[in-house]
């Protein structure tokens, strides 16, 4: 084994425990609050330590900037300070750092750690150890290497974070062994928890309103939250507007100036392309430039104006090249799409509607390169549509592990149709219309009458609280962003 790797392991074991405060406190000396996902991780750790579960291999895929590294450090701190695990039994590995030393091979690193520190091999290890691995995608064969370690010992607990495409890059043998907890961009609930240490317990009530049409619980929680936010000393009344255009990522929470927030958002985009996509898909400089151009073009247009063929023509590239770039961008979750509502024949004929992962990223790209929407109100309306699209996409992924809550999202292919359609299996479709200053129910009513929908939803700033009038539910954008 390379002496550099040995030195790296030794340095990690010595320095990480004493540097936790630097990793877990802001520059103001305030300790970072924990995302909801930490509670899930904590339960996983507790169950393993107490031998209530043999699950011991987890991956945390997600976009850059959503807090994956902090979650790993918080897990380290929990093991060290609350579970009294010896520092020698916890190894934090940054594959990004390792990659600067040598080509990353997680199997060799873990075996070296066990040999040097515990004088044993994985097969002979007789105590629990915990391996926390950041940026695992830098090991191109991470799934094989992790599987080999996993199969040799029941005493190794492993948690890996990495690119959003990490959940796609493993074989069937690994799939049977691991659990996936995708770390999504921050909704407003998570934003408030991390920034103000405030828990808004309304998400489940909003889901009930959205899929069952029952609004009473959500209305009560909405009123409670509005009263409580007023009493938070540091809460800025303009906080939601900043979240809307610049939020969803942990790195912007402490930024004071919008220019700094914009630079942080662009940095996230740039690092996704150069540090996640490029090494993972072996892109050369020319291919990188094409990825940048595609993202700028998607960000500057309305969702319905973009198709792979149009982008290919606009950038003077082949359709096959564009297909590959769009596939990569979707796998890394920086863009996503919805298909037209209808049967398989309709979906195969109609173009997909593409959205950027969050309106803040879309806004960050546009602020960096400009956009084609001249009217600010129209621009904000497009960002609002992207916000709702993003929240529905993230909710769909969040609920995908709950069989009775799985749903699909579509767009309405008819001229002047509603913006979104959500539908659970064997349930009637629910139309959703989104817009600034929009309270007309004409489009929603038209869809409901055609498809026998029990109710419809309008997300608009024309109402400042949840209302249900006859069979139409009105939800303010700020309230919907808690979902």
Residue range 210-248, pLDDT digits in tens = 999 999 999 999 999 999 999 998 999 999 999 999 999
- 345-349: long-range contacts, CB 8 A cutoff, minimum separation 24: 346/413
> Rounded distance, CA 482 to CA 204, Å?
10
- In the chain, CATH 3.40.50.300 covers 3-183
| C-beta of residue 399 within 8 angstroms of C-beta of residue 326 | no
Mean pLDDT, rounded, of the chain: 92
In the CATH scheme, what is the homologous superfamily, with its name and number, of domain 3-183? P-loop containing nucleotide triphosphate hydrolases (3.40.50.300)
| C-beta of residue 355 within 8 angstroms of C-beta of residue 393 | yes
| C-beta of residue 458 within 8 angstroms of C-beta of residue 441 | yes
| C-beta of residue 136 within 8 angstroms of C-beta of residue 162 | yes
Look at residue 304 in the predicted model and tell me its pLDDT: 74
> Rounded distance, CA 137 to CA 389, Å?
28
Strands of 353-356's sheet, edge to edge? 353-356, 335-340, 407-411, 420-424, 430-435, 456-460, 472-475, 467-469
Look at residue 2 in the predicted model and tell me its pLDDT: 75
In the block, tokens 């009530």 appear at: 205
Pairing of strands 456-460, 156-162: unpaired
Look at residue 169 in the predicted model and tell me its pLDDT: 63
In the block, tokens 């309103």 appear at: 209
Pairing of strands 472-475, 335-340: unpaired
Residue range 12-65, pLDDT digits in tens = 999 999 999 999 988 778 899 999 999 999 999 999 999 999 999 999 999 999
133 Cβ contact partners less than 8 Å away, ≥ 6 residues apart: 93, 95, 106, 158, 159, 160, 161
Angle between helices 239-246 and 258-271 (to 10 degrees): 30
Any idea what the Cα angle at residue 382 is, between residues 362 and 243, rounded to 5°?
A: 55
What 3 state SS string does the chain have? CCHHHHHHHHHHHHHHHHHHHHHHECCCCCECCCCCHHHHHHHHHHHHHCCCCCCCEEEEECCCCCCHHHHHHHHHHHHHHHCCCCHHHEEEEEHHHHHHHCCCCHHHHHHHHHHHHHCCCHHHCCCCEEEEEECHHHCCCHHHHHHHHHHHCCCEEEEEEECHHHHHCCCHHHHCCCEECCCCCCCHHHHHHHHHCCCCCCHHHHHHHHHHCCCHHHHHHHHHHHHHHHCCCCCCCCHHHHHHHHCCCHHHCCCCCHHHHHHHHHHHHHHHHHHHHHHHHCCCHHHHHHHHHHHHHHHHCCHHHCCHHHHHHHCCCCHHHHHHHHHHHHHCCCEEEEEECCCHHHHHHCCCEEEECCHHHHHHHHHHHCCCCCCHHHHHHHHHHHHHHHHHHHHHHHHHHCHHHCEEEEECCCCCCCCEEEEECCCCCEEEEEECCCCCCHHHHHHHHHHCCCCEEEEECCCCCCEEECCEEEECHHHHCCC
Percent of the chain's residues with pLDDT above 90: 77
Look at residue 363 in the predicted model and tell me its pLDDT: 95
Phi, psi of 479 (to 5 degrees): -65, -40
Look at residue 203 in the predicted model and tell me its pLDDT: 96
> Rounded distance, CA 130 to CA 91, Å?
6
| C-beta of residue 216 within 8 angstroms of C-beta of residue 465 | no
Residue range 334-367, pLDDT digits in tens = 999 999 998 877 676 788 999 999 999 999 999 9
Residue 286: CB atoms within 10 Å? 7
pLDDT < 50 stretches in the chain: none
Look at residue 1 in the predicted model and tell me its pLDDT: 59
Look at residue 198 in the predicted model and tell me its pLDDT: 96
Phi, psi of 30 (to 5 degrees): -100, 130
Intra-chain end-to-end CA distance of the chain, in Å: 49
Look at residue 309 in the predicted model and tell me its pLDDT: 82
| C-beta of residue 37 within 8 angstroms of C-beta of residue 62 | no
Look at residue 93 in the predicted model and tell me its pLDDT: 97
Residue 18: CB atoms within 10 Å? 9
């Amino acid at each position: 084994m390379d002496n550099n790797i040995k030195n790296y392991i030794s340095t990690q074991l010595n320095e990480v425990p004493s540097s936790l405060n630097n990793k877990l406190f802001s520059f103001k000396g305030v300790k970072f609050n924990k995302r909801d996902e930490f509670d899930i991780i904590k339960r996983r750790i507790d169950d393993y330590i107490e031998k209530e579960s043999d699950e011991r291999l987890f991956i945390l895929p997600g976009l850059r900037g959503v807090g994956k590294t902090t979650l790993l450090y918080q897990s380290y701190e929990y093991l060290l300070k609350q579970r009294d695990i010896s520092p020698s039994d916890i190894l934090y590995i940054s594959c990004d750092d390792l990659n600067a030393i040598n080509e990353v091979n997680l199997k060799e690193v873990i075996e070296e750690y066990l040999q040097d520190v515990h004088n044993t091999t994985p097969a002979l290890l007789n105590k629990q150890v915990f391996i926390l691995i950041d940026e695992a995608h830098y090991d191109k064969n991470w799934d094989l290497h992790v599987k080999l370690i996993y199969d040799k010992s029941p005493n190794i607990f492993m948690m890996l974070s990495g690119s959003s495409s990490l959940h796609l890059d493993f074989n069937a043998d690994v799939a049977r062994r691991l659990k996936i907890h995708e770390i999504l961009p921050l909704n407003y609930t998570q934003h408030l928890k991390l920034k103000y240490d405030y828990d808004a317990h309304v998400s489940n009530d909003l889901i009930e309103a959205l899929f069952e049409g029952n609004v009473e619980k959500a209305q009560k929680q909405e009123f409670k939250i509005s009263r409580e936010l007023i009493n938070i000393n540091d809460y800025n009344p303009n906080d939601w507007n900043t979240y809307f255009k610049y939020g969803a990522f942990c790195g912007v929470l402490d930024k004071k100036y919008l220019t700094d927030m914009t630079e942080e958002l662009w940095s996230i985009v740039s690092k996704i392309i150069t540090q996640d996509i490029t090494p993972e898909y072996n892109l050369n400089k020319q291919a990188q430039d094409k990825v940048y151009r595609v993202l700028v073009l998607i960000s500057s247009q309305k969702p319905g104006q973009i198709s792979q063929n149009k982008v290919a023509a606009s950038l003077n590239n082949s359709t096959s090249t564009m297909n590959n770039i769009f596939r990569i961008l979707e796998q890394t979750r920086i863009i996503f799409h919805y298909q037209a509502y209808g049967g398989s024949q309709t979906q195969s004929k109609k173009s997909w509607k593409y959205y950027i992962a969050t309106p803040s990223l879309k806004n960050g790209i546009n602020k960096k390169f400009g956009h084609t929407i001249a009217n600010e109100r129209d621009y904000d309306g497009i960002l609002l549509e992207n916000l709702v699209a993003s929240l529905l996409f993230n909710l769909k992924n969040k609920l995908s592990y709950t069989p009775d809550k799985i749903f699909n999202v579509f767009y309405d292919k008819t001229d002047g149709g509603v913006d979104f359609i959500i539908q659970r299996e064997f349930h009637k479709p629910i139309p959703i219309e989104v817009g600034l200053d929009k309270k007309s129910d004409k489009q929603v009513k038209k869809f409901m009458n055609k498809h026998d929908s029990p109710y419809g939803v309008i997300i608009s700033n024309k109402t400042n609280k949840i209302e249900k009038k006859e069979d139409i539910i009105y939800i303010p954008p700020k309230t919907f962003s808690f979902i």
